[in-house]
């Protein structure tokens, strides 16, 4: 009787205790389908291949990867300056607002909020109330027209 399970496992392995076994397709069995290496979808894409080719050409020429074409640098510089200018103009416009204009803006915002709340309340009102209001409006209009 074996002293432990470990001795049994050692006896069952004739390959000298090698844990990794060789795959069966290496034996050259023609009946087996040999596995193919999977393609990386990123590397298979045309844009990646073109970028890689361009990087290799730049490396052969001795160009730095960080250097950009002059036109692109100029356009980026203009864009940056334009954004900075716009931010400065907005800040100046905010500073130049008089207290009167600020108060007008606050009142306008309050009125908008009140109108929205009224619309919400009208949407929740029963339908017969809406119809009744419409009838009142039409009757008052016709009475005014008769008087004129």
pLDDT in tens, 72-107: 888 999 999 999 999 999 888 877 778 888 898 899
Report the residue count for the chain.
148
Confidence at residue 1, expressed as pLDDT on a 0 to 100 scale: 47
Task: List, for residues 18-51, the tens digit of each pLDDT value.
Answer: 556 666 556 666 777 777 888 888 888 898 889 8
Q: Rounded distance, CA 131 to CA 102, Å? A: 40
Confidence of residue 122 (pLDDT cuts 50, 70, 90): confident
Higher-confidence residue: 76 or 11? Answer: 76
Supply the DSSP symbol for 148. -
DSSP, residue by residue, 60-110: HHT--SS---HHHHHHHHHHHHHHHHHHHHHHHHHHH--HHHHHHHHHHHH
**Residue spans per domain, the chain:** 70-125
Q: Which residue has the tokens 């204009």?
A: 101
pTM of the model: 0.28
Q: Helix or strand or coil: residue 39?
A: coil
């Amino acid at each position: 009787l074996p002293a432990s399970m470990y001795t049994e496992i050692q006896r069952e392995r004739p390959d000298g205790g090698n844990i990794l076994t060789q795959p069966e397709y290496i034996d050259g069995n023609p009946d087996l389908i040999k596995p193919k290496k999977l393609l990386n979808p990123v590397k298979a894409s045309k844009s990646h291949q073109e970028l890689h080719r361009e990087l290799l050409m730049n490396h052969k020429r001795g160009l730095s990867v960080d250097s950009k074409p002059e036109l692109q640098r100029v356009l980026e510089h203009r864009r940056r300056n334009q954004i900075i200018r716009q931010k400065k103009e907005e800040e100046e416009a905010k500073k130049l607002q008089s207290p009167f204009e600020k108060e007008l803006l606050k009142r306008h915002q309050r009125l908008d909020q009140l109108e929205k709340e009224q619309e919400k309340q009208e949407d929740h009102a029963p339908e017969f109330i809406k119809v009744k209001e419409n009838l009142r409006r039409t009757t008052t209009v016709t009475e005014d027209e008769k008087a004129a």
